Every structure is written in C-alpha cells, then in structure tokens.
Chains A and B, each alone.
Chain A
Amino acid sequence: MPESPRSTAPDGPGVLFEFDRVAVTAGDRTILHDLDATVAESELTVLLGPSGAGKSTMLRLCNRFEIASSGTVRFRGDDVRTIDPLALRRRVGMVFQRPTMFEGTVADNLRIAEPTASDADIAAQLGRVALPAEMAHRDASVLSGGEAQRACLARTLLTRPDVLLLDEPTSALDPASTRQLEQTIAALVDDGMSVLWVTHQLDQVDRIDPARRIVLVDGRPATPHEIDHYLHAEPLDHDETTDHERTRRSDGDSTDGR
C-alpha cells in the first residue's frame, strides 16, 4: 500500500524516517513538492516511480546528501539537520546504482569503512552478503559486477548501520546477480535490518515483496489512479513523457537505471 499524505506509522514498527512537507528545488526546477511520507523500522520499504519522479532525491535526503529546500526530514524523531552528518551517514548506510570499489583488495575496501576491522570481522561481513571469506584478498578491480556490488554492501554493513538506503543497486547487474543480491537483502531484512530500496523495476518489486511501497510521480505521492496505472504498465518507460503516457507506454529497457 502506498503512503497517504501525513500518515504516521501504523501499529507495530516505529517510525524511522518522517518526511514533513519536504520540498527540494534545484534552480527553477522543483524535484519534490511538499512531500509527506514515513518509512518504518525493521522492514523493507520500496520507493517506486518513473524516472525523474524524485526517488533518488528522497533517498539522498535520508543521509543528508541532499538538503530540503523547505520542510523537515526526521530520523527517529530528530531533524536530520541537527545530527552530525558523518555520524548520520554511519547509521544510515547507502549502496549506489553502480558498484564503487576503491583501489586495493576487497579487505582494503572494507577497512575504509572500519579501519580497525579484524580479518574475522571482514570474513563475517563477506559471509552476510554470501561472498566467500577468501574474497578478502582479491584485488577489488577484478570482481564481477555482482561480486563488487555485494562487496560494496559488505563495506556498508561494516559501519553497522541501522538502515540501508539502496539506490537501484541492481541496475548495473545481470539477472542472475540481481536475484542473488535480492536474496541477500531479503535475508538482511529477515534479520531485522531496515531497508529503503529505490527501484523502477516492477518485476523486482514482485520478487522482493516489500512490507510497504511509496510511489512517487513528479515529486509527489502518486494518486490511487496513478498507482493503478503505474503498477499495471510494464515494462517501465523512462522517456520524458506525460505522467499518463509514462505509465502506459512499454518500450523501456528494464535493466537501465538512468
């Protein structure tokens, strides 16, 4: 179910993120329009919508990569502007569209997140993302896309985040690697990790079966009518078309993230 405006978390899980009339403008372009939404603790929330709907911006507000032009983003009740950004980013981990391995071995990469991590810590995190412990000694530049993206996830997990922000993490991966990553993240959610996952692939949403969905269209929550159109159009289209067309046309490449 999509979030209705100004909804608070229903019974059960607490509120992790709360968007209170959040607007983001860039120059004369409005990316988010007075958005109200909540993201609950310890469950998988999917952030859906066509290209350019403001999904990534909404995600980046959560770790202060973007700043709201007006309105307030709260993390567990605290305005994110009042939280030290470096501390916030260690509690709110982010995985990007493309794997971003740095120079050195996989272990070197993980130690950028946590310089004091022991070999056992690193092996444990690699295990959580279904990578073998021996992978730690591999040169990070020779990993496959799927391995690299899982190593990125392990690196983020090493900061011991409370929540994972995933910005279309499978958009650069082949179908088999995509499935593996989906299963890895599902396992993390089962272990109690909060996840906010941006995707525009409806078939992926069906597979990962989120507890909650937020659908954005043009920087605001989609209306029930728009959601209906959106969810029944596939595959997705990425062209700059009207909302109506965007939900109906079907010439998109569902693996292209941009």
Chain B
Amino acid sequence: MDGDVTPLGLAASLTLVALALGLSWRRGLRLERDLVIAAVRAVAQLVAVGYVLLVILAEDAPLVLAWCWVALMIAIAATTVGRRAPEVPGATKLAATAMAMSTAVALAIAFGLDVFPLESRVVVPVGGMIVGNALGGTVVAARRVVAELSDHRLDVEARLALGQTSAEAAQPFIRRALRTALIPQIESTKAVGLISLPGTMTGLILAGVRPVDAVLVQAAVMFLILGSVAINVVVVGLGLTREMFTDDHRLKRVQVVEV
C-alpha cells in the first residue's frame, strides 16, 4: 500500500508548524524553540523508525525481527514508567513484567485465534498499539497503588493489627487504585467513534481502506487493548502489593513525590 503523502506534501504540512511558530511569536508564548525541536525530532524519529521498519517488514525478513521490535518497545515503555513513577518501588521491572504478560496474552489471542494474520506487518503495529496504550494505565495504576497505601497507612495497619494478611489489608485500596487506572480506558472505549476516530481506523481510512472494513480492524484492536490494559493494571496491582509489604506483613514506608 503506497502512502499518498509525498516529500513535497510533508513540506507543505510544515506550513502549519510555521503558523504555530508565528502565533507563538506574535503572542509572546516563547514556544518557538520547543516547537522547532519537537517538529525536527518527530521527523527524525519517524524517518529512523521508517527505515528500521523497512528492514523488519521486508518481504523476506524473518518474523523474529518483528518480535524483537515488540520486545524493544516493551523495554522502552517500562523505562518510561520507571521515570514517570519514581516513587514506586521496582516500577521498571514490574512494568516490564506486566507489559510482557499482557502483550503476550493479547498477541496470543490475536494470532492464535486468527483474528489477524501472523505477519511482521501486523505484529509490529498491533504490538505497538497494545504497549503504547498500556503505558498510561500502568503509570496511573502504579502511582495510585502507592499513593492509596501511603495515604491510608493507618487504615491498612488497623487491618493488619487484626491479623489480616498484607493482601487482605491492601485489597480495598488496591481495588480503588485499579479502578482509577482502568476507568479512562473504559471511558475512551465508550466514546470511540462518537468524539474520536481511533488511530487504527484513521490510518486505514487515510490509506484508502473502506471505512466498514477499517471498523472491523479497529474493533478487534480496541478489544485487544482493553483486555491487555486490564491484565497490565492487575499485574501491577498484585506485584506492587508484594513490593509495598514485607514478608512478615508490615507496610513499608515510601516517599510519595510529585512529578
């Protein structure tokens, strides 16, 4: 499938960046430098990714390259979670575990049940969407779990003092944290099509696929994302419960920081 945007077209679209620059300058927003850096970076990153994908998605390229790409995305996403949730003990490792598990389950269903054909050109974008969507939910889940347990330290200890295990004592607070992390995904699933055309569908329509066909692909992707975000959030919740308590059922002290 050939893209319709020529280099000249891309250059033309940059006039909108120029417009943003002009507005920033006229209004004294001082965002000119950031705008230029963002635009240049985006082009550079996308071009680089485009060339890497050219290799990975080549007709004769082995499928294993696509799986390596997905693994790399998980590693980058997990590092991002670690950076965005610095107060969460073991955040990077936990996020990597959760994302690997949720992606594995989602892709096993996607390809094992023949929802999508097992080809590099499918593995890479579907894997990317799953990991990308899991990122936000993972950060929220991890930070909320730590904040809930720290904010309700007295309540947690009151439960532990009655002889509850750490898992029992943490349960009401973990539940609340996981709900907070999952609700945005559920809300955006509800609003899909009405106030937003999701990325997969937009891309397919732009690339000339019939909207009704695009909808089927989008729906399948959406369910994979919803399921994998749910798995991800639950794994983070369970994992963090273990991190936040000692083996003898004491709640550890964690410094909550604002990011």
List residues of chain A with CB under 8 Å of any chain B CB.
Answer: 63-67, 85-87, 89-90, 93-94, 96, 98, 100, 102-103, 112-113, 152, 155-156, 159
In Å, the complex CA distance between A90 and B164 comes to 9
In Å, the complex CA distance between A103 and B249 comes to 22
Could you list 6 examples of A-B contacts with CB < 8 Å? Answer: A64-B248, A65-B161, A85-B248, A85-B249, A102-B172, A156-B162
Residues of B165-200 whose CB lies within 8 A of A? 165, 172
Contact of A90 with B172 in the complex, beta carbons under 8 Å: no
Q: A96-B154, A100-B155 in contact; A64/B250 too (CB < 8 A)?
A: yes
In Å, the complex CA distance between A112 and B156 comes to 12
The verdict on B109 contacting chain A, using a C-beta distance below 8 Å, is: no
Q: A85-B248, A86-B249 in contact; A65/B162 too (CB < 8 A)?
A: no
Contact of B250 with A100 in the complex, beta carbons under 8 Å: no
In Å, the complex CA distance between A85 and B155 comes to 18
CB distance from A88 to the nearest CB of B (A): 8
Partner of B159 from A85, A90, A98, A112 at Cβ < 8 Å: A112
The verdict on B158 contacting chain A, using a C-beta distance below 8 Å, is: yes
Chain B contributes a number of interface residues (CB within 8 A of A) equal to: 15
CB distance from B43 to the nearest CB of A (A): 49
List residues of chain B with CB under 8 Å of any chain A CB.
Answer: 154-155, 157-165, 172, 248-250
Contact of B162 with A89 in the complex, beta carbons under 8 Å: yes
Contact of B154 with A98 in the complex, beta carbons under 8 Å: yes
Contact of B163 with A159 in the complex, beta carbons under 8 Å: yes
Partner of B157 from A86, A96, A103 at Cβ < 8 Å: A96
Q: A98-B154, A100-B154, A102-B155 in contact; A93/B161 too (CB < 8 A)?
A: yes
| Chain A residues with CB under 8 A of B163 | 86-87, 89-90, 113, 159
In Å, the complex CA distance between A64 and B165 comes to 13
Contact of B158 with A96 in the complex, beta carbons under 8 Å: yes
Interface centre among B154, B155, B162 (most CB of A within 10 A): B162
Q: Which 4 A-B pairs have the closest CB atoms?
A: A100-B158, A90-B163, A94-B161, A85-B248
In Å, the complex CA distance between A109 and B159 comes to 10
Contact of B160 with A159 in the complex, beta carbons under 8 Å: no
CB distance from A104 to the nearest CB of B (A): 11
CB distance from A82 to the nearest CB of B (A): 11
CB distance from B152 to the nearest CB of A (A): 9
Interface centre among B159, B160, B161, B248 (most CB of A within 10 A): B161
Contact of B158 with A65 in the complex, beta carbons under 8 Å: no
Contact of A90 with B162 in the complex, beta carbons under 8 Å: yes
| Chain B residues with CB under 8 A of A159 | 162-163
Contact of A86 with B165 in the complex, beta carbons under 8 Å: yes
